[in-house]
Structure 1
Amino acid sequence: MNIAPEDIRPAALEEGKAREIQRDTDWLVARQPDFVAVKCPACGAAGKPAFEKFGFSFEDCPSCRTVFMSPRATPEIMAEFYGRSTNYEYWDKHVFPASRGVRKSKVFQPRVDRILALCDSHGLETGVAMDVGASVGIFCETLQETGRFRRVVALEPNFAQAESCRRLGLETLETDFFKLDSFDEPISLITAFEVIEHLFSAKAFLESCHQLLAPNGMVAVTCPNQLGFDIQTLGIDSLSFDVEHVNMFNPAALRELFEANGFSVLQCSTPGEMDASIVRDAVLAGQFSLAREPFLREVLLNQWDRLGGPFQSFLRDNGLSSHMWLVAIKRQL
């Protein structure tokens, strides 16, 4: 597919994005006295201190290797944060419009194709599809254009992005998913792209999904794989470790979480396209050194044109990319 970070994160907008991220971070820092300690969001084990970043503490689970923020913002603080985030407004006004075409063709159309193929292969009824954390609605718009689902619902708690969904003519719920106690009919498909890593309780999210889904309904999520190449290589300097990503799962831990909460996992994979490019860009920008990594220097710099693509394919095909997909079917409890 050949997606580069610049394709979906234009460099010219980085300064403005960094400014808004700092505003959001300052807002959270001011509320740290009300943060609460938690155990591993995947398996419930007690964590061990791992590192601090931006003044927030992260722990590592010795049982399933999930990395998570603890203490963390309460559900109420999180709901207010995402509803008022200036960074999300910036993405709505600048980043998404500048990258919309590439995102739709290279990110969201393949996601729709993949989802529909799974629906076909598992005989899923295509009644209602709900995208949780719909952002500006590109996925919902793309899915709706296929005509395969009778209803496509965008659920987005941020005011600015919910407005963007409405402008596309999408059925839009401007609310926190955890306030959705019921829906007017069973849901066939719930998608949540880059959402589960942001949630106070991933377990509570899956319990809500199980309640709202029709029998044999499907849920599909994407999130970072903290054992993936670029995150492991860049370590604490990885952009994936930020103030919003409070749950950093890995394939085994995410599978365990779903299986323990009433789902049968159909597939868990790491189809990422940008791991090698992310590390290479960090090196070229002087943000990371390969002085003690001769192998990576050969792959990512000296022979990039020849080896970059095959190396990324190796990461993708062997569960080593930092972009993770999991698809599961509701199991009757």
Structure 2
Amino acid sequence: MRMKMVNRSCPVCGSNGKLQIFAEADFDLSQLDSFAFASRKLPEYMHYRLISCPTCDVLYASPIPELSELATAYDEATFDSSEEAHYASHTYGSFLPEIMQHIPNLEGAIDIGTGDGAFLEELLHRGFTSITGVEPSQAPILAAKAEIQPLIKHGLFRVEDFQAETFNLVTCFQTLEHLYDPKRMCQDAYTLLKKGGAVFFICHNHRALSAKILGIKSPIFDIEHLQLFSEKSAKYLLKENGFVKIKTKVIFNRYPLHYWVKLLPLPLKSKLSCLALLKKTKIGYLPISIPAGNLMIVGYKN
């Protein structure tokens, strides 16, 4: 695999000031497989050069592959994490009741980076109507339930594919890190929302305790991630693009034990052996909730 790389400014605030290198590039594209751009994969512990922005506190990668290169990589990515996707959708869905109290109604919701549509199921369960998902990879769409597949649009999210002010809720879960232009997506979400509508994002927090403990071996430092947020940078993103009543909260993720082991920075051979054993036992599927370094952020359109 070879990719043409391009430099960029901070994707959140546009800062072009003095570069503060957080970590030099550490990746080998020849070692990547079809899971490299898949969700909830086995970490390769590779990353582009990471820069710390002193203005908004985001960590961003530069240089990065051209957009067309990334679009192709995502389109061809494999998918095998339906179980984990449904665990995540239940966790994220637990925050919906509070949001539902503040938006005009439940008509119109869009989930950007919807995967196999697990959260679309959650939205339907909560009473939302006129829902849609956008997903750049073909494999998760094919893995979606038959009744969910027609609700998913294949491709990169483009605001021009939708009518302005038609949604009461825009969601984007652990996808902000992957976006070529998160600022533009936030602006587009504002355009699509009705007055009083909400954005509801989940992102990795590079200031979280787990990231501090594991350092560069944390699975959040990944070849897929073009930027990593903190509470400060996530709030900055929403505030600078017009959102109000912004709230953040630490997420307690709930996944089976085998998934948590999958993320640990263990020697690969030992990890694979352990995973194989866990998946043969009931204990491997024991759900465990921990604060794994993820952040919820919600904002509303005036």
TM-score range, shorter chain: 0.7 to 0.9
TM-score, normalised to structure 1, is 0.69
Confirm or deny that 1:272 pairs with 2:252. yes
1:189 and 1:123, CA in 2 relative to 1: closer, same or farther beyond 3 A? closer
Percent identity over the alignment? 22
Contact 2:114 2:133 in 1 (8 A): yes
1:189 aligns to what SS in structure 2? strand
Root-mean-square deviation (Å): 2.8
One of 111, 114, 117 as aligned partner of 1:131? 111
Q: Distance in 2 between matches of 1:194 and 1:78?
A: 17
Who is 1:115 aligned against?
Answer: 96
- Residue 183 of structure 1: how far off its partner (Å): 2.9
TM-score (norm 2): 0.76
Bigger strand fraction: 2
- Indicate the SS of the match to 1:328: strand
CA distance in 2 between counterparts of 1:234 and 1:212 reads 38
Q: For 1:179 and 1:212, locate their aligned partners in 2 and report how far apart those are by CA, in whole Å.
A: 8
- Which position in structure 2 is the counterpart of 1:325? 296
| Gap regions ≥5 residues in structure 2 | 29-47, 269-287
Q: Which amino acid is the alignment partner of residue 99 of structure 2?
A: L
Give 1:168's aligned residue: 147
| Distance in 2 of aligned mates of 1:227 and 1:184 | 35
Whichever residue aligns with residue 63 of structure 1, its letter is: T
Q: Which runs of 5+ in 1 are unaligned?
A: 1-26, 288-308
In structure 2, C-alpha distance between the alignment counterparts of 1:82 and 1:71, rounded to whole Å: 18
Opposite residue 227 of structure 1, the aligned amino acid is R
Match of 1:145 among 118, 125, 128: 125
Q: Is the 8 A contact 1:272 1:324 kept in 2?
A: no
Alignment size in residue pairs: 257
CA deviations on 1:262-283 (whole Å, 9 max, x unpaired) are 1114311112347xx969x848
Alignment check: 8 A CA contact 1:265 1:326 kept: no
The 3 A distance-change label for structure 1 pair 50 and 286 is same
Equivalent in the alignment of 1:299: none
Going from structure 1 to structure 2, the CA distance change for 1:265 and 1:255 (only over 3 Å counts) comes to farther
2:26 is aligned with 1:53: yes
Q: Which has the higher helix share?
A: 1
Q: What is the 5 A alignment of 1:296-307?
A: none
Q: Which residue of structure 2 lines up, in the alignment, with residue 252 of structure 1?
A: 232
- Is 2:199 the partner of 1:207? no
Deviation string for 1:173-205 (max 9, x for gaps)? 112102644338711111111111101111110
Q: Identify which range, 222-231 or 41-50, moves more after superposition.
A: 41-50
Contact residue 137 and residue 168 of structure 1 kept, 8 A? no
Retained in 2: the 8 A contact 1:43–1:253? no
Q: Does 1:218 align with 2:191?
A: no
